[in-house]
Chain A
Amino acid sequence: DTEVTQTPKHLVMGMTNKKSLKCEQHMGHRAMYWYKQKAKKPPELMFVYSYEKLSINESVPSRFSPECPNSSLLNLHLHALQPEDSALYLCASSPLRALGGVSGEQYFGPGTRLTVT
């Protein structure tokens, strides 16, 4: 299985809602990522998990809350979002190198298209 799956594909939420995005991979990768991608722009890194521990938070507002329940799952909890948070949210995973460290070779899911109204 060489897939990263993400649910839901589309999400519309109001500014007072609480919702969650889910990501799953069964490639045995121990690094997982959340990215935000605006139209016609490259992905912007939000969070990095390594061995299920948060290792990087790129100064993301607290209305985004990541969670890594186990090595295959990654969640992104959303609360009190703003319209400018509307974007494609991408999950990715990466194998670790034999000598340690992360390879950077990332496999991306199809994303969740989020619209905040």
Chain B
Amino acid sequence: AQSVSQHNHHVILSEAASLELGCNYSYGGTVNLFWYVQYPGQHLQLLLKYFSGDPLVKGIKGFEAEFIKSKFSFNLRKPSVQWSDTAEYFCAVTYGGSQGNLIFGKGTKLSVKP
């Protein structure tokens, strides 16, 4: 079955630390890849997306992600986190031929200490 795995359930960092959240997806042919963020009390927002082309994708708020096809990975990175980055981060995938239904990972809770 098609699935998405996020390696970390809860990550705790101090401000200015670097961030990398892991995401792997199961093989299923053509994929579109996404990271969504859910700030406390707010709705899901699209952080960045990959459809094709340059595997290094830049998103909002200084986040970026790298698509490594050989590793079925789409890890999220940020060089220096801020307290305001505290949120739940979801990796998600759509597979080619689907109706665009997103398959979500279980999420990673990021807590940034001021």
Contact = CB atoms under 8 A, between A and B. Distances in A.
B51 A108 contact: no
Interface residues of A, number: 25
A106 B102 contact: yes
A80 B97 CA distance: 35
A74 to B, nearest CB: 15
Contact of B34 (A42, A55, A105): A105
A102 B99 CA distance: 6
A106 to B, nearest CB: 6
Given A43-B44, A48-B99, A50-B99, A103 B107 contact: no
Interface string B94-114: 101111111011110000000
Contact of B43 (A56, A101, A105, A108): A108
Contacts, number: 63
Interface in A85-117: 90, 92, 94, 101-111
A52 to B, nearest CB: 13
Nearest to B42: A110
A31 B104 contact: no
A42 B100 CA distance: 16
A50 B100 CA distance: 10
Given A42-B90, A42-B107, A102-B94, A107 B46 contact: yes
A105 B99 contact: no
A60 B54 CA distance: 38
Given A101-B96, A104-B102, 18 more contacts: A31-B100, A33-B101, A41-B106, A42-B90, A42-B104, A48-B101, A55-B99, A94-B100, A101-B97, A102-B94, A102-B100, A103-B51, A104-B92, A104-B101, A105-B49, A108-B44, A108-B45, A110-B43
15 contacts: A41-B106, A41-B107, A43-B102, A50-B99, A92-B44, A101-B96, A101-B97, A101-B100, A102-B100, A104-B94, A104-B102, A105-B32, A108-B36, A108-B43, A108-B44
Interface of B: 32, 34, 36, 42-46, 49, 51, 90, 92, 94, 96-102, 104-107
